[in-house]
Amino acid sequence: MGHEFDRDIAVTRVDETTFTAELGAGWDVGGAVNGGYLLATIGNALGQVAPGKPDPIVVSCFYLTAATAGPATIVTRTIRDGGSMATLAADLVQDGQPRITVTATYGDLSALPDDVRTTATAHELPPLEECVPSSMAPEEVRRMAPLMGRFDLRLDPAYAGWAVGEPSGNGIIQGWIRLVDEREPDPLSLLLMLDALPPVTFDLGMPGWAPTLELTAHVRGVPAPGWLRVRHETRNMARGMFEEDCVVWDSSDRLIAQSRQLARSPRSR
């Protein structure tokens, strides 16, 4: 197990339905564990529950309270396992309290038919070398967000002005992303990538924490090796909440994963 992502999402099966995990402090942002990392860890456990159905296809998760680095228990439940897909559930529990509750459809992505009729086109993104590496973030930011050290993230400079106090006001953040140790993407790491970037509200000049109420992820295939292109966007900030849509395109130009979350707006400055 050479890659930190694999080490850190590892789960140990305790009995037929229960797994334990050790949540890594390297995935923290401001003292709470990143939601995408939690999703990948829970997703890893769920992949072992239904025989022949190792892959997440749809995952819906409700974030109840912040999870923190350290031991966690993942309690799974099979709602229905029939045909080519299974509907599964999981709670991630710390200190006797559920932190996240997940429902998911699992199947075998490699067994799906080959048809692709995608009409969406990938978002325009400057070449890698013209993007802003997140490693350029100030030391104090990287100390507050160890998560940033897990990725090689190159932000589109058109929507990265928030990092220097000049948000574009569009509600968009996009860039190139891969794991820092160049571990290749797979369905579980796609769950991470769908919720790895800062909230799009940064680009609206709202730098605070934006707690997610719910996030639904679709994983539409096994990603090709190489860099992923990721784009987050919000179009409906209203009534103290905003939706955030994310698309992930792989190196073979496939729209390989999508997510939408509803989050609470950061408190105004």
Is residue 93 close enough to count as binding its own copies by CB under 8 A? no
State which of residues 117, 129, 139, 140 lies at the interface with its own copies (CB under 8 A): 117
* Nearest distance in Å: CB 149, its own copies: 31
From the list 228, 225, 191, 183, the residue with the least C-alpha distance to 56 is 191
Contact 67/99 with Cβ under 8 angstroms? yes
State which of residues 98, 146, 157, 207 lies at the interface with its own copies (CB under 8 A): 98
Is residue 260 close enough to count as binding its own copies by CB under 8 A? yes
Strands 151-155 and 237-238: unpaired
Is residue 115 close enough to count as binding its own copies by CB under 8 A? yes
* Nearest distance in Å: CB 117, its own copies: 4
Question: CB under 8 A: which stretch of 130-138, 156-164, 181-189, 218-226 binds its own copies?
Answer: 218-226
At 144, which amino acid appears? M
At 99, which amino acid appears? R
Strands 172-179 and 151-155: antiparallel
The residue with tokens 């292109």 is: 229
Looking at residues 48 to 87 of the shown chain, list those that interact with its own copies (rule: CB under 8 A): 57-58, 60, 62, 64-65, 79-80, 85, 87
Site string for its own copies, 122-161 (x = CB under 8 A): ----------------------------------------
Q: Which is nearer to its own copies, 85 or 158 (CB)?
A: 85
* Nearest distance in Å: CB 203, its own copies: 11
* Nearest distance in Å: CB 89, its own copies: 8
Q: In 130-211, at which residue ranges do the beta strands (DSSP E only) sit?
A: 132-133, 151-155, 172-179
Helix (H) or strand (E) holding 139: helix 139-144
Contact 225/172 with Cβ under 8 angstroms? no
The residue with tokens 């924490």 is: 209
Whole-number Cα distances in Å, 200 to 125, 169, 206, 210:
17, 10, 9, 9
What values do phi and psi take at 97, rounded to 5? -110, 135
User: What does the binding site for its own copies look like in residue numbers (CB under 8 A)?
Assistant: 57-58, 60, 62, 64-65, 79-80, 85, 87, 89, 98, 101, 103, 105, 109, 112-120, 170-171, 204, 213-214, 216, 218, 220-221, 234-241, 243, 254-255, 258, 260, 262, 265
